[in-house]
Amino acid sequence: MGIIIKQGNVWYRNRWIQRDILIEGELIQEIKEEIIPKMEDQIVYASGKIVVPGFIDVHVHLREPGYEEKETIKTGAKAAVKGGFTTIASMPNTKPVIDQAELITYVLTKSEQAGFAKVLAIGAITKEQEGQKLADLFGMKEKGAVGFSDDGRGVKSSGLMKQAMEIAKTLGVPILAHCEDIDLTNGGVIHDGRMAKELGVPGIPAEAEYIQLARDLILAEITGVHYHVCHVSSKRSVELIREAKARGVNVTAEVTPHHLVLTEDDLKEPYAQFKMNPPLRTEEDRQALIKGLKDGTIDMIATDHAPHTEQEKGKGLLEAPFGIVGLEIAFPLLFTNLVKHHLISLEQLIDSLTIKPASLFGLNLGKIEKGSIADITIIDLEKIQSVDPTQFASKGKNTPFVGWKLQGWPIMTIVNGKIVWEEKEE
């Protein structure tokens, strides 16, 4: 039995065309003006909808193993497909930390059993993410790790980071860096700006990000590694990445939906729902991020989906953990607040969620082509609804966007040729 998507507006070879798509097995078999269905084919009517490659998120936190009360691989992968994401890459800050080969196998096996989004495993750079000794990079790569990161912590030692880059270069995988000089962060909870002073809480200065970034860009230039910057948040960081690209450094970068949409001025009670690392910064920083995304300095959008329990986030600004969830609302949030305001084009948004993140890990995904894997998302650009965390598939309900009215929601997600989520089932 095949699946035929009928008369959708398909994003195909950098243009919009109205086409039928035939899926058989895991692959797209035909893309034609009209495909005559066989008796046994399932027909999906997509007239008036857009049909795009399945989204790819290179930066999510699935919490398993060790923090299953926050999220599991299964609930996170289901949240992903509900948001139109067909492939996600999980960060290693679990318990135990994913710093050895068997834990890579654990993540990949669990994701296959879940049957929702495909999950890629990222291994830790250092053992237990303690920044003292390199993790088993060779063993993790052999079991399928697609890259290495100590996300949640910056690697303090320049020597250790250089060694990690040299090994990653040899293995042909990227280093994904959380840039944070902990000595400069100094216990801060939000951006070191107007709101920190007003609330009387310690702040995280922008230089905590870009000073370590500047060091890493020099090391990346020396080693030739593919160096990827996680969740860029400051204007100076964008400038440093732009300068590095201009001189030929093999660097890519991501930005989160929340850093593109919010600033420190948006903070309000409950403040802990606005607490993430790096923090929301100034309007000048936000505008620099949008410009960087538009001109290609920033390559892709990643959610940094970071679920926590209601109890944890209820501890208040000083004690609550950093992070918000993002998988299920990323596209409508960005379509409503960027595309509808003509800050970026719809096509740029789609590319930053598909073909560009695919390139980070060398994936033959992120496109709709005859013979390619059938990872497809169908979106109703006219659909408007409010953000309601009680309806999330994710265990995490921690978002500052509660009640926001958003437009442009995914209505069906296909992974490896199978319909894994559709709106009517919810």
| CA 276/CA 259 separation, integer angstroms | 10
First-to-last CA distance in the chain? 24
Angle, nearest 10°, between helix axes 207-223 and 235-246?
Answer: 10
Pairing of β 27-32 and β 15-24: antiparallel
CA-to-CA distance for 300 and 216, rounded, in angstroms? 19
Tell me how far apart the alpha carbons of residues 170 and 138 are, in angstroms, rounded to a whole number. 10
Catalytic residue among 57, 99, 304, 375: 304
Residue 305 to residue 308: CA distance in whole angstroms:
10
Residue 304 falls in the annotated catalytic set: yes
What are 279's strand-pairing partners? none
The size of the chain, in residues, is 426
> What is the 3 state secondary structure string of 376-410?
EEEEEEEEEEECCHHHCCCCCCCCCCCCCEEEEEE
Say which residues have a Cβ less than 8 Å from residue 39's Cβ, sequence separation at least 6: none
Residues annotated catalytic, as ranges: 304
